[in-house]
Homo-oligomer: A and B are copies of this chain.
Amino acid sequence: MLVVFLSQHALSAELKPGRAVEPYWGDHQGGISTPPQKHTYFIAFDVVSSKREELIELLNAWTLASAEMTAGPERFDPKADPNQPGKSSGAAVGLSTSGLTLTFGFGATLFEKEGVDRFGIAKKRPEALVDLPGFTGDQLIPERTGGDLSVQACANDPQVVEYAVRRLARLANGVAVMRWAQTGFNGDFKANETPRNQMGFKDGTLNVSTKDAKAMDKHIWVGEEGPQWMRGGSYMVIRPIRISLEHWDEMKLSFQEETVGRHKVSGAPIGKNKEFDDLELKRTGKNGKPVINEYSHAALSAPENNGGTEILRRAFSYDNGIMHINERWPPWRQLVTFDAGLLFQCYQRDPRTGFIKLFTKMAQIDMLNQFTTHTGSGLFACPHGVKPGEFIGQDLFS
């Protein structure tokens, strides 16, 4: 395994550079149990070729390029032929590898699209790779939804994720076209601290610990129940969620806390002092009502309210600047609003018992829904990791 630590790692822990090089080859793909980097670039592709061998060739090329890009900094080839284009833009020459991971997934449409089995894999579509149901409140934009293939670059440098995606997109020329993309970021919080999201609350206090191999096997990695190519892989749901930040910022602190079910400063459950204190959802106040509102985000997402369901959230914030809105209903507002929010992302062993189970109810009654709009969506089967000599998803085609 290629694992190199920054030489000054011990000295600069507060700056949290992360590992300069994350392992690429292995049982699992990188970018899933990897601690979230500071930047991401997610992109979905549609395959336009109908030739199975061209798809395989692309997956091969993506695997080799990914192995190279994640193994070390970009370097100019001193023997580069001036009469040829370079294999890459060169935009990352001089930059650290910045913990780059590249994670690939297959959408349901890769297996069958409009009734056509383009690549002879329709029979191999796993049952768990369902079509996501429509959820209450969905306002999905088709151009931000679905896709045959997903690619996600994560690294601690925005220029590195972009260079990596550009190189992979170029390798897809003639075989796949870009369908939708979204960049994202995380603030530079300390490694031992739960990051705050754009709403100002700590986000991710309750999450599967990626260090807990048992929990990861139970909730995140596909096991014997899945086809060979998915064992050690995981199902990924991704949803750009616009947050009405202007609206949220005008809310009273007490209402924000009731909505989330936690205190803003400490992240502790309502009525408690410490972030990791038990929710104790059955606590009632003097008025006989639950201390933590039963429609709050924390209550509704708690494993104890969902038959023990746990997913691995691996979210980033996104910020596309501003957007113009023309409402066609009373009071017919025309306004300019921030186009920013959460690039929600989660991994699970089975989306039917993971995201779908959790979110069906939350989409209906979570108090937080007053401030959030899901504008895009994707579900991708991310196969197990690759060994040298293989390509990503290889045993799906064998």
**Which A residues are within 8 Å of any B CB, using their own CB?**
8, 11-12, 14-15, 17, 38-39, 41, 43, 76, 80-86, 88-96, 98, 143, 156-160, 162, 166, 169-170, 177-183, 185-190, 193, 195-201, 245-246, 248-254, 257, 264-265, 317, 319-322, 324, 335-336, 338, 340
On whether the beta carbons of B12 and A251 are closer than 8 Å, the reply is no
A120–chain B nearest beta-carbon distance, Å: 27
Closest chain B CB from A368 CB (angstroms): 15
Would you give 18 A-B contacts (Cβ < 8 Å), ordered by A? Answer: A8-B11, A8-B12, A11-B12, A41-B319, A83-B252, A83-B253, A89-B198, A89-B248, A92-B187, A93-B196, A93-B200, A94-B189, A160-B187, A169-B246, A169-B338, A170-B246, A170-B249, A178-B322
CB atoms of A254 and B187 under 8 A apart: no
* Contact residues in B for A254 (Cβ distance below 8 Å): 82-83
A336 and B179 form a contact (CB under 8 A): yes
Known: A85-B253, A187-B91, A250-B85. A317 touches B159 (CB 8 A): yes
Residue on B nearest A179 in the bound complex, by CB: B336
Report the Cα distance A43→B193, complex, angstroms: 31
Residue of A39, A197, A264 with most chain B CB atoms under a 10 A cut-off: A264
In the bound complex, CA of A356 to CA of B42 (Å): 38
Tell me, in angstroms, the Cα distance from A54 to B265 when the chains sit together: 33
Please tell me if the beta carbons of A180 and B80 are within 8 angstroms of each other in the complex.
no
- The answer to whether B187 touches A95 (Cβ under 8 A) is yes
- Least CB separation from A87: chain B residue: B249
Bound-state Cα–Cα, A169 to B247, Å:
12
Q: Which residues of B contact A92 (CB under 8 A)?
A: 187, 196
Neighbour of A94 across the interface among B81, B162, B190, B251, CB < 8 A? B190
Q: A187-B158, A248-B89 are in contact. Are A94 and B196 (CB under 8 A)?
A: yes
- Are B162 and A96 neighbours in the complex by a CB distance under 8 Å? no
Bound-complex Cα distance A159 to B198 (A): 8
Cα separation A197 to B90 with both chains bound (whole Å): 9
Copies in the complex: 2
A90-B200, A94-B190 are contacts. A43–B177 as well, Cβ < 8 Å? no
With both beta carbons as reference points, the residue of chain B lying nearest to A45 in the complex is identified as: B336
Given the complex of chains A and B, what is the CA–CA distance between A68 and B282 in angstroms? 42
Contact, CB under 8 Å: A253 / B199: no
Other A-B contacts than A11-B12, A91-B200, A177-B335, 8 sampled, CB-CB below 8 A, are A41-B319, A76-B264, A85-B252, A86-B249, A89-B200, A96-B188, A156-B188, A158-B319
Knowing A14-B8, A246-B169, say if A95 contacts B180 (CB, 8 Å).
no
A198 touches B162 (CB 8 A): yes
A200 touches B249 (CB 8 A): no
Closest to A265 in B: B76
Q: A8-B12, A17-B15, A179-B336 are in contact. Are A80 and B253 (CB under 8 A)?
A: yes
**Contact A166-B94, Cβ < 8 Å, known A158-B319, A187-B160, A200-B86:** no
Partner of A187, one of B81, B159, B338: B159
A206: shortest Cβ distance to chain B, in Å? 18
Given contacts A196-B93, A196-B94, contact A319 B85 (CB under 8 A): no
What are the 8 A-B residue pairs with the smallest beta carbon separation, nearest first? A90-B200, A159-B187, A181-B321, A82-B254, A12-B12, A158-B185, A89-B200, A11-B11
Tell me which residues across on chain B come within 8 A of A186, comparing CB atoms. Answer: 159
Give the docked Cα–Cα distance between A183 and B317 (Å): 13
Q: Given the complex of chains A and B, what is the CA–CA distance between A251 and B88 in angstroms?
A: 11
A115 CA to B48 CA, complexed, in Å? 53
Partner of A321 from B15, B182, B197 at Cβ < 8 Å: B182
The answer to whether B198 and A249 touch across the interface, beta carbons within 8 angstroms, is no
The answer to whether B189 and A95 touch across the interface, beta carbons within 8 angstroms, is yes
